[in-house]
Structure 1
Amino acid sequence: MASMLPSPPRHHHHHPHPFFKPQPSLLLPTFSQRFRTSGHRLPPLRSSPLPSSSALPFDQRMHESLAILDLMRSQSITPDPSLLCTLLKSCADAQSLHFGKLVHEKAILFGLHTDTFVSNSLIHLYSKCGRTRSAQQLFDEMPLRNVVSWTTLISMYSNSNFHNKALDLFWSMREKDGIEPNAFTYTVALNCCASTGDLDMGIRIHEDVVKDGCDGDEFVVVALIDMYAKCGSVGLARKMFDKITEPSVEACTAMIEGYCANDRAKDAINLIRQTLRRYKVSKVAERIGFATMVRPCIVNMGLRQGQEIHAHLIKFGHKPGMNTLTLLVELYSKCGKMMNAYDIFNKLVVKDVVLWGKMISGFVHDELYGEALKVYAEMTCSGCGVNASLVSFALKACIGLLSLEEGKQIHGRVIKDPRLLRISVIHDLSKLYECCGKLEEVHKLMKKLPNLAIVGGVERIANGAM
């Protein structure tokens, strides 16, 4: 990376200019207007008046920002480091490595690349753009590191699923630089323990959290609940939760998901009810995630509890996401409420083959064969791929209705697509023809099959019918 960037100047005579100390929320195009009014001459960047920086495309903002940096350097004006930090953050948010590298070059030319805050922003940029080695190299070359430097690097490895590496850095932070973690550092470290299932490490970090007085931080508490739950210590997670006087929505969500992950569906449902009673405001309950609420109801076959949540959705006029609707379909179908499931199913914009299968199999299970064939027809018209399992359920519906014609249509599809030729499909086709008194079709089917094992199965069906 270093070879791609210019070397820092040996003699830096630029002097900081008090005029160029931007607010962190602004980008450089905003400063071009100020530059004009300050008496400096600025080449025109466009013929029209300069609009708000947020109204400009990202690329245009960056090109103009870089142009102004070049102008400042030509007039020996050094920007405030916070200005470069703002630009680097913008590049990181957009995951624009190209423009980020250009800003990095400017930082080197201005001699600001060793500034701790600029270096932190550069590490954040390269980590967001997936350049782990570049971020690590910058970190290693920093003359002075602070807690943000360490936490940014730890977060990078955590987000890249190098959780053990992140934890090694967490412990090195104190040993090498004598820097104490902050609440965010603890949160990242606890998340790493949750991901690796390292309960002992999590307990050690929890002890340090208490010593440093960070146990009152909301994000740390949620991370502790999540860590204990994911490490299988639901009891300790619940103890942490019960210590909170007014549990936040995030804490409730972590505890509910912890119960679900440890097959404690009943406890999850009870906590959901308590949470809904506690937070009468619909938006707060919505933040918990209705999908999180519905999932334990499916595990526990809790139709009544699921209906409570569904009623809450309707009462407050929520528009549930695809995940929630899919889970509601699964809940109602598992509990034998297929028409309720079908009503919700029809509201879904995107339906995958698994969801189609749940509807068809659910109708067949409840002996609603006409509805099953209707859904099967809708699925084939939608262009969704058909598999052998779905064909088998559709044939079962034909058997239930003694619908020979529809069965023949399905048989025709099987002939055209050999991938659908499975034992279950052959069995159901044979049974359909048998039930409709078409034994000759059973024998024809048997003769066309190359697989002797399948032939034997069909032959047994035919012989039994005779």
Structure 2
Amino acid sequence: MEEALNVLDLMEAQGMEPEPSLICILLKSCAEAENLEFGKTIHSRIVGTDLEKDVYVVNNLINLYAKCGCLEIARNVFDEMSNRNEVTWTTMISIYNQRGFLDESLKLYSLMKLDSRVRPNAFTYSIALNSCAKLRNLKMGVEIHEDVVKDRCESDEFIVTALIDMYSKCGSIDSARRVFNKAGEPTIAACTAMIDGYNNNNQAKEAMYLIRIILHSRLDMKMVRELGFVCMIRSCTMEAAYRQGQEIHAHIIKFGYDLGAQTCSTLVLLYEDCNKMVLARRLFDKLVDKNERLWGQMILGYVKNGMNSEALKLYVEMVSEDVKPSSFALSCALKACVGILGLKEGMEIQGRAVKVGCCLSDDSFVAALVMLYRQCKLPEEVQKITRIHKS
């Protein structure tokens, strides 16, 4: 950075103005490194020069200040520009979107439409639609969709995905499906958005129907993997659809997909909801790298299916493998103790909780412990734990 400044000093001493491309490179470097001080120094060197009017240089200045968290300065630079291009507008709209100023992002989009010198591009539309999705602003989303149609870019794959996501999050799932159907050959991103849309609108059966079509289509293995088996299995879990889940599991095996903790956890959740704990345990045992959450999920599965002794055996196995139990896993193990009135086991779990620092600060753990002592008719312990938890 210092060397670059020396070069700028030398050029200034010789009466030479640096090329816009050089300034853009330096500003990009500052933005990537979040070096605000050096970026401001470069900014000071171009004030009063023709570089200050170069749209690409100023675009990079806006990006620099945004990356460094100076949103107000970035907006001031934007407002002072006499000539803005599509990138300028889109950059500023994107900055507001990323920083959570969603209303401001949409206001800026509306202002951009009033500028006859520019028109939104696919990226601009996608960001504006994303702001509508986050705000659940269906009215504005429909207006932007109309703009997209007028601009004849509704077939753009990014816009298709953004439209499906916007309509789904605004609760207009039928509109989302119409966009999906009109796409002809939707991308993986569009398929994922549509499945998630159904799941999030409590229409898991529709999601499963779409999943079946996808799995029996001519999509290659790579595309199906990108779609994500977790997304597919979640629909089956919501409906406790055992057969459909098995079908997806069969495709996982067919494609030689390596089960990660997340996929395995989702399958375990499906099988435990369908009272298929033998299958869930078989999957669990095959997984080499098990995280604390998965151990807890498996223990909870046994508890939910009334297999409390199996749940405690698995808890003991977890401890013997030196896995540091999470508060979730400990709470699940305590629920198993409640099921068999295992006071001794429950007190041992409480002791381990204290040891690993999960004491009485976790609400779910305290609730399970109180339930155990209450079932074992120990009101003094219940009062003691409640008093400590409240203090």
Q: CA deviation at 1:257?
A: 1.2
TM-score of the pair, normalised by structure 2: 0.83
Amino acid at match of 2:324: G
Paired with 2:98 and 2:353, the residues of 1 have a C-alpha distance of 46
Contact 1:88 1:125 in 2 (8 A): yes
Tell me, which stretches of 5 or more residues in structure 1 are unaligned?
Answer: 1-61, 431-441, 455-466
- C-alpha change, 1:188 and 1:364, in structure 2 (3 Å) is closer
Contact 2:370 2:382 in 1 (8 A): no
Q: Pick from 221, 225, 230: which aligns with 2:169?
A: 230
Q: Pick from 298, 301, 318: which aligns with 2:237?
A: 298
Question: In structure 1, what is the equivalent of residue 68 of structure 2?
Answer: 129
- Across the aligned residues of Structure 1 and Structure 2, the Cα RMSD in angstroms comes to 3.3
Contact 1:298 1:330 in 2 (8 A): yes
Question: In structure 2, what is the equivalent of residue 22 of structure 1?
Answer: none
Q: CA deviation at 1:316?
A: 2.7
- Residue 86 of structure 2 corresponds to residue 147 of structure 1: yes
Contact 1:229 1:259 in 2 (8 A): yes
Amino acid at match of 2:323: S
TM-score of the pair, normalised by structure 1: 0.71
- C-alpha change, 1:320 and 1:83, in structure 2 (3 Å) is farther
Contact 2:269 2:301 in 1 (8 A): no
Q: CA deviation at 1:117?
A: 0.5
Name the count of aligned residue pairs. 375
Greater CA drift, 85-94 or 151-160: 85-94
Larger Rg, first or second structure (1 or 2)? 1
Tell me, which stretches of 5 or more residues in structure 2 are unaligned?
Answer: none
Greater CA drift, 340-349 or 166-175: 340-349
Q: Pick from 416, 424, 427: which aligns with 2:374?
A: 427
| Percent identity of equivalent pairs | 45
- C-alpha change, 1:341 and 1:110, in structure 2 (3 Å) is farther
Amino acid at match of 1:392: L
5 Å-filtered alignment, 1:179-328, equals: 179-328=118-267
Paired with 1:205 and 1:448, the residues of 2 have a C-alpha distance of 61
Paired with 1:246 and 1:165, the residues of 2 have a C-alpha distance of 34
Contact 1:352 1:384 in 2 (8 A): yes
- C-alpha change, 1:310 and 1:90, in structure 2 (3 Å) is farther
Paired with 2:132 and 2:257, the residues of 1 have a C-alpha distance of 35
Q: Pick from 101, 104, 114: which aligns with 2:40?
A: 101
User: Which structure has more helix as a fraction of its residues?
Assistant: 2
Paired with 2:61 and 2:345, the residues of 1 have a C-alpha distance of 65
Paired with 2:280 and 2:323, the residues of 1 have a C-alpha distance of 19
Contact 2:215 2:224 in 1 (8 A): yes
Amino acid at match of 1:307: Q
Paired with 2:248 and 2:35, the residues of 1 have a C-alpha distance of 42
Which secondary structure does the structure 2 equivalent of 1:78 belong to? coil
- C-alpha change, 1:272 and 1:450, in structure 2 (3 Å) is closer
- Residue 292 of structure 2 corresponds to residue 384 of structure 1: no
Amino acid at match of 2:230: A
Contact 1:398 1:406 in 2 (8 A): no
- C-alpha change, 1:183 and 1:309, in structure 2 (3 Å) is same
- Residue 29 of structure 2 corresponds to residue 82 of structure 1: no
Paired with 2:245 and 2:197, the residues of 1 have a C-alpha distance of 19
Contact 1:290 1:320 in 2 (8 A): no
Which secondary structure does the structure 2 equivalent of 1:112 belong to? helix
- C-alpha change, 1:284 and 1:102, in structure 2 (3 Å) is farther
Q: CA deviation at 1:135?
A: 0.8
Contact 1:183 1:220 in 2 (8 A): yes
Paired with 2:32 and 2:279, the residues of 1 have a C-alpha distance of 43
5 Å-filtered alignment, 1:383-422, equals: 383-386=324-327, 389-396=331-338, 398-399=340-341, 406=345, 409-410=348-349, 420=366, 422=369
